[in-house]
Amino acid sequence: MKLILETNRLRLREFSLKDADFVLKLVNTPSWIQFIGDRNIHTLEAAKKYIEENLLKSYAQNGFGLWLMELKNTSKPIGMCGLVNRDSLEDIDIGFALLPAFERKGYTFEAAKATLTHAKEVLQISKVVAITDASNVASIGLLHKIGLQFEKEVQLAEKNTVLLFSEQLSDMNKN
């Protein structure tokens, strides 16, 4: 399992098939279902297939993806954060999800801020965007907090309009 980055309290690392139990739990939380959508992952086998066909495939194809967020002091998995290269978007987008027990403790902010820095400094990605449901107040607040601003509404699929937030990473350090 490749370590991607560390923050004060977290490690972000690549997922492996051994994380299927955690993935099964995360993708079936009420907030995942409400804001990201039901991915029809209801068994360990389906979770392993999701890891293989989405997460591991992205690492191989793009050199990045969604990474497992774990507490540094206990190695307990608490969520995911990382970068996604979607066919439906022009730019790379940042995504995150957290188990409910760990929400509102600053973990996602810590991981997302570090992910943006990693995208800019290590991966040399000039622009990162984010998409979220218009009713996801917590995500919208976090996107503002990490420096992304609302740009426009985007229709990803029929009956699936989301808000697009963006920031030019190459402009971050200009005064």
Instruction: Tell me the whole-structure pTM to 2 decimals.
Output: 0.91
User: Which residue segment(s) compose the domain that 31 sits in?
Assistant: 3-171
Predicted pLDDT at 175: 37
Q: Is the separation of the CB atoms in 4 and 67 below 8 Å? A: yes
Bridge partner list, 165? 130, 150
Total number of domains in the chain: 1
Give SS3 for 72: coil
By C-alpha distance, which of 73, 70, 96 is closest to 83? 96
Find the CATH number of the domain harbouring 10. Answer: 3.40.630.30
Calculate helix-pair angle for 137-145, 107-121, nearest 10 degrees.
50
Between residues 68 and 155, the one the model is more confident about: 68
Residue 171 has pLDDT above 80, yes or no: no
Alpha-carbon span 109 to 128, nearest angstrom:
15
Predicted pLDDT at 161: 86
Residue 42 has pLDDT above 60, yes or no: yes
Per-residue pLDDT tens over the stretch 111-149 = 999 999 999 999 999 999 999 999 999 999 999 999 999
Please compute the mean of the pLDDT values over residues 86-100 and round it to a whole number.
94
